[in-house]
């Protein structure tokens, strides 16, 4: 079993402890709720069980037997195909920013790229960053780190989100030593 699979198993076990319910009971509750949208189910789990965003999201993926990566694989899409879709149309000019970020991050060491509907999640034992177009003129880099301090550029995100910080990037030249250092710090903390 890979380190990432072990991390998922541990998270699912912890969810059962936190809720006092088995995965079968939680899945039945989700199915009987009548909700079908990921966000609605996630919000229900946060409200009903006090789960954090990440735990609730993991539980939704488990119960629905879906995630962004599985969806991409189910269609036979490669990572490049998914990226072509994410950076299509008006967002096509942002692809060089993504490619520059990934070229730098790939030098850090081993990690997993998990494609989602409109972005990619970068994971070691846990997610350390997210990259995707926020608008047709900017890529948003989400960064997970509890040890950083917000700046004008490193923008704090309210608690409960998938990342603690974000950096808006409008040009590949903004993938500079400062941004790289923040991502590397999150990378090191996630593994």
* Residue ranges of the chain that CATH labels 3.90.1150: 79-189
Contacts of residue 187, defined as CB under 8 A and 6 or more positions apart, other chains included, come to 105, 108, 109, 111, 122, 124, 128, 129
**157 and 163 Cβ atoms separated by less than 8 Å:** yes
pLDDT tens profile 22-60: 988 888 888 888 887 777 888 888 899 988 877 887 888
Query: What's the pLDDT band for 73 if we cut at 50, 70, 90?
Result: very low
**87 and 65 Cβ atoms separated by less than 8 Å:** no
Query: What's the pLDDT band for 89 if we cut at 50, 70, 90?
Result: very high
pTM, rounded to two decimals: 0.65
CATH, range 79-189: 3.90.1150
Q: Taking residues 138-159, what's their average pLDDT? A: 92
């Amino acid at each position: 079993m890979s380190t990432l699979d072990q991390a998922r198993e541990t998270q699912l076990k912890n969810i059962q402890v936190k809720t006092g319910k088995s995965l079968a009971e939680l899945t039945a509750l989700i199915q009987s709720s009548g909700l079908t949208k990921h966000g609605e189910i996630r919000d229900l789990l946060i409200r009903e069980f006090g789960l954090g965003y990440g735990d609730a999201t993991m539980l939704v993926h488990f119960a629905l037997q879906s995630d962004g990566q599985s969806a991409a694989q189910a269609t036979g899409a490669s990572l490049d195909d998914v990226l072509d879709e994410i950076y299509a149309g008006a967002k096509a000019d942002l692809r060089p920013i993504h490619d520059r970020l990934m070229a730098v991050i790939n030098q850090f060491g081993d990690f997993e790229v998990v494609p989602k509907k409109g972005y990619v999640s970068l994971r070691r034992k846990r997610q350390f960053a997210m990259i995707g177009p926020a608008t047709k003129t900017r890529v948003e880099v989400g960064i997970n780190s509890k040890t950083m301090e917000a700046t004008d550029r490193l923008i704090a995100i309210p608690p409960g989100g998938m990342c603690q910080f974000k950096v808006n990037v409008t040009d590949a030249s903004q993938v500079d030593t400062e941004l790289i250092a923040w991502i590397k710090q999150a990378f090191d903390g996630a593994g």
